């Protein structure tokens, strides 16, 4: 690729990447978004919607929980049919997408996808958005009730699920949508298709369909900022970590003399490098002491999860490797791939230095952020242990104050996403 404008990435594939990342929050159940997309698209078929609308509702199903970052919120959404704090992740999802033109068409439906039908009818949104939001709400609640039965007794449990959904017709759900569900669910195939191996194959096939819209490099960066926000909200101790790593990595790359295209790609890799942390339990990320061997073994898997999310996106093969190699050492001691020094390119080495630097200056549950002198001392130790590239660490030391300012977020190029301020009472409800 001779210029950055030539890098174009499929919007459809990025939507799947968002779903894959967000679904990691489900820990042992990482197919919720896929199943909601399937159920909603099946109901859309039953309702006689055209192909374009069916593709829209499928993608909306994949995106509907993009405002969920924490295990606690996921558990509350799973364990309660109607939960007082559910609207917060809907608001977050809405604000994440509303200013990103390629995905803003989904934002209103995401905002109201936990609003009961009897209330939704009185809100000033388009009929289309109201219908799409409620169809997703219905599909979401069907899946929540059925999830624990798919691999065991779903054909026996279906009657109880159907009766429960019927009881909410007219109050929580559009009666027309409930009637469509009652017709569609009569087929055993509807339920059997929701088993893990079947839903995975179905969504893989759907991944090849849909719109052929491509994202430019600049749009890819915008979407990467959205994804970085989702990851960084996993814990208050990682707030803006991905943004600051990306900012610092780009600055180091520019100072090192890399091309503008490569610097832009390194920035995107920095934004996406910790996607796999969405699959790390909250209690591990926020532990106020050293990790034990089991916790460390779980933590050491997150870079691979990042790679798995990104590697299947056409055109992102380089970025996937750079992002996933951010814990690899020059001496092969890092994790999880253990590449040779020849395989560990300058791009990955830059992100590794930026990641360590930013993590050290940021407050963490077990310590306060470090001063510049402490950070540089640790970087020197890492060079001595062949964990970091001496050329890059020396470069950082030459521009220490600038790097420190970027890592702290004082001097920043990448701006975060503006979200509504929730009250303490609202956040308490959301975390109960």
Q: Is 257 left (phi over 0), alpha (psi -120 to 50) or beta?
A: left
Q: What DSSP assignment string belongs to 152-178? A: TTHHHHHHHHHHHHHHTBTTTB-HHHH
CA distance 379 to 276: 24
Strands 214-215 and 9-10: antiparallel
CA distances from 347 to 83, 173, 258, 290, 314 (A): 44, 50, 9, 30, 19
Burial 29-49 (b: 16+ CB within 10 A, else e): bbbbbbbbbbbbbbbbebbeb
Of 34, 234, 265, 277, the active-site residue reads 277
Per the annotation, the verdict on 277 as an active-site residue is yes
322 token code pair: 């750079």
Of 244, 248, 275, 249, the residue nearest 262 (C-alpha)? 249
Q: What DSSP assignment string belongs to 311-358? A: HTSTT-HHHHHHHHTTT--TTS-SSSS---TTTS-HHHHHHHHHHHHH
Maximal C-alpha separation, the chain: 69
Contact 33, 147 (CB under 8 A): no
Helix H or strand E encompassing 218:
helix 217-232
139 token code pair: 């599909």
Specify the 3-state DSSP secondary structure of 372.
Answer: helix
Specify the 3-state DSSP secondary structure of 117.
Answer: helix
| Residues 268/271/273/279 CA torsion (nearest 10 deg) | -140
CA distance 48 to 215: 31
The residues carrying an active-site annotation are 277
């Amino acid at each position: 690729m001779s210029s950055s404008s030539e890098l174009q990435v499929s919007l459809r594939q990025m939507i799947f990447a968002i779903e894959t990342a967000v679904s990691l929050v489900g820990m042992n159940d990482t197919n919720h978004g896929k199943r909601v997309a399937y159920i909603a698209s099946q109901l859309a078929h039953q309702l006689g919607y055209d192909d374009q609308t069916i593709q829209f509702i499928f993608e909306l199903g994949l995106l509907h929980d993009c405002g969920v970052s924490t295990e606690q919120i996921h558990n509350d959404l799973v364990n309660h049919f109607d939960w007082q704090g559910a609207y917060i992740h809907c608001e977050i999802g809405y604000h994440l997408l509303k200013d990103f033109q390629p995905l803003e068409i989904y934002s209103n439906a995401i905002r109201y996808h936990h609003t009961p039908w009897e209330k939704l009818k009185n809100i000033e949104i388009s009929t289309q958005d109201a219908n799409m939001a409620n169809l997703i709400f219905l599909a979401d609640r069907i899946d929540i009730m059925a999830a624990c039965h798919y691999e065991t007794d779903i054909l026996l449990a279906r009657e109880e699920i159907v009766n429960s959904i019927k009881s909410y017709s007219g109050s929580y759900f559009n009666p027309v949508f409930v009637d469509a569900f009652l017709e569609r669910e009569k087929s055993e195939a509807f339920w059997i298709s929701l088993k893990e191996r079947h839903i995975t194959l179905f969504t893989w096939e759907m991944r090849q369909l849909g719109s052929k819209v491509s994202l430019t490099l600049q749009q890819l960066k915008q979407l990467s900022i959205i994804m970085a926000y989702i990851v960084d909200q996993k814990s208050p101790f990682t707030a803006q970590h991905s943004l600051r790593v990306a900012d610092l990595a780009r600055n180091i790359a520019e100072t090192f003399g890399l091309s503008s295209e490569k610097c832009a790609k390194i920035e995107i890799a920095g934004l996406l490098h910790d996607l796999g942390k969405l699959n790390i339990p909250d209690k591990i990320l926020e532990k106020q002491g050293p990790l034990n061997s089991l916790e460390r073994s779980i933590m050491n898997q997150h870079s691979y999860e990042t790679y798995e999310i990104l590697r299947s996106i056409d055109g992102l093969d380089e970025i996937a490797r750079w992002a996933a190699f951010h814990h690899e050492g020059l001496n092969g001691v890092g994790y999880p791939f253990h590449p040779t020094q020849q395989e560990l390119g300058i791009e990955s080495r830059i992100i590794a230095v930026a990641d360590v630097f930013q993590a050290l200056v940021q407050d963490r549950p077990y310590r306060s952020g470090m001063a510049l002198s402490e950070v540089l001392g640790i970087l020197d130790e890492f060079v001595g242990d062949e964990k970091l590239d001496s050329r890059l660490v020396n470069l950082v030391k030459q521009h220490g104050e600038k790097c420190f300012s970027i890592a702290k977020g004082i001097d920043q190029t990448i701006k975060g996403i503006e979200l509504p301020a929730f009250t303490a009472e609202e956040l308490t409800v959301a975390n109960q």
